[in-house]
C-alpha cells in the first residue's frame, strides 16, 4: 500500500508588506501566519511529504501567480511542491513549472473551461495537473446530482465554489471530480468550505464519496484540528493525503507527531 501523505498548505496573499501566509475560517477573517519561504523551509525540515502553495487572491483579483515567491520557496524545499492560484493558461503552467513547482493546481479556470484540463494534462502529463475543488454543502436537494448522508443523518449535496470561495456555480462536486478525472487530472485537492479553519475534522462524507468514485489520489483539506482527525481522514474518508494549515503554522501539532501516531495505528507513512 502506498504511504499516506501529510501536506502543509501555504495560503499566500499579497499585501503592502509583500507575500504573506494567511489563515482564516471558511475562507474569511484572514490572519497572518508568517513568511511563505521561511515556513516552507521549516516544513521540509520537519518531515512534510509535500507542500501546497496557493495564491488565494490571484483569481479574484485577476492577476498572475506570484512567480518570484514560488521561485524562492522552491529553492528551500526538496519535497514535491504544488502551486495554484490564478492558473488560467498553458503559459501560466509552464511559468510555474519553470519556477520550481512539481505540480500545478487549477480551480476557477478549470470550471470556466473544462477543456483546459485536457489540454494541460496532454501537454504536461496527468501527474503534474491537480484540480482543486472548493465545495460547500447545499441542502436544496432538488438541485444536486449526488445526495450524501451527513454525520447527523441529514442529507445534502456539495456545490462547487470558485474565485477563492466567493462564487457558487451550481455544479455538483462529485460529478465535477469525475469529469476532471476523465479529462486527465492526476489528483484532486478537495476543500470543504464548511470545515475550513474550524478544526472540527475533515468533511468525511464528501471525502469518502469522491475517494470511492475516483481512481486518482484525493487530498482531503479543511478542518484538521487534532491528530485523530488525520486518522479519520485516511481511514474513514479514504483520502490518499491530508492537508492542513493553521495547526502547523502555529505549531499546535508537529508533523512527526502525527506520523508516529498514524504508524502506531497501522496507517502507512514515511517517517
pLDDT tens sequence across 38-86 = 999 999 999 999 999 988 776 556 655 578 889 999 999 999 999 998 8
Residue 16: how many CB atoms within 10 A of its CB?
5
d(CA 25, CA 37): 23
State the pLDDT at residue 111: 97
- Could you tell me the residue ranges of all domains in the chain? 5-264
pLDDT on residue 8: 95
Spatial CA neighbour of 154 closest among 165, 168, 140: 140
- 240 tagged catalytic: no
CA dist list (Å): 28 to 57, 100, 106, 161, 194: 12, 29, 21, 14, 12
Task: Please give the CATH architecture assigned to the domain spanning 5-264.
Answer: Alpha-Beta Barrel (3.20)
pLDDT at 20: 75
Assess contact for 56 and 85: CB atoms under 8 A: yes
pLDDT given for residue 65 in this prediction: 59
Q: Give pLDDT < 50 ranges for the chain.
A: 27, 29
Instruction: Identify the pLDDT of residue 16.
Output: 61
* 134 has catalytic annotation: yes
Residue 67 grid cell: 512567480
Q: Write down the catalytic residue from 11, 35, 55, 203.
A: 11
Q: Which of 35, 49, 92, 134 is catalytic?
A: 134
Distance CA 17, CA 33 (A): 13
Amino acid at each position: 500500500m502506498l504511504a499516506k501523505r501529510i501536506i502543509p498548505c501555504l495560503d499566500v496573499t499579497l499585501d503592502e508588506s509583500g507575500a504573506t501566509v494567511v489563515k482564516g475560517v471558511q475562507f474569511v477573517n484572514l490572519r497572518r501566519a508568517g513568511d511563505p519561504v521561511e515556513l516552507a523551509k521549516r516544513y521540509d525540515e520537519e518531515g512534510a511529504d509535500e507542500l501546497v502553495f496557493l495564491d488565494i487572491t490571484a483569481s479574484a483579483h485577476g492577476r498572475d501567480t506570484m512567480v518570484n515567491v514560488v521561485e524562492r520557496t522552491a529553492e528551500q524545499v526538496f519535497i514535491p511542491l504544488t502551486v495554484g492560484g490564478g492558473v488560467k493558461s498553458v503559459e501560466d503552467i509552464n511559468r510555474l513549472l519553470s519556477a520550481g513547482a512539481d505540480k500545478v493546481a487549477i480551480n476557477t479556470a478549470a470550471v470556466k473551461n473544462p477543456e483546459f484540463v485536457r489540454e494541460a494534462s496532454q501537454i504536461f502529463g496527468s501527474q503534474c495537473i491537480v484540480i482543486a475543488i472548493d465545495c460547500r454543502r447545499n441542502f436544496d436537494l432538488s438541485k444536486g446530482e449526488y445526495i450524501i448522508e451527513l454525520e447527523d443523518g441529514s442529507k445534502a449535496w456539495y456545490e462547487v465554489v470558485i474565485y477563492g470561495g466567493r462564487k457558487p456555480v451550481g455544479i455538483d462536486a462529485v460529478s465535477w471530480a469525475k469529469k476532471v478525472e476523465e479529462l486527465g487530472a492526476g489528483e484532486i485537492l478537495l476543500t470543504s468550505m464548511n470545515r475550513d479553519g474550524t478544526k472540527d475534522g475533515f468533511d468525511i462524507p464528501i471525502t469518502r464519496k469522491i475517494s470511492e468514485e475516483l481512481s486518482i489520489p484525493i487530498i482531503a483539506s479543511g478542518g484538521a484540528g487534532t491528530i485523530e482527525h488525520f486518522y479519520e481522514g485516511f481511514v474513514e474518508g479514504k483520502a490518499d493525503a491530508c492537508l492542513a494549515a493553521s495547526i502547523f503554522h502555529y505549531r499546535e501539532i508537529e508533523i512527526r507527531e502525527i506520523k508516529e501516531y498514524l504508524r502506531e495505528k497501522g496507517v502507512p507513512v514515511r517517517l
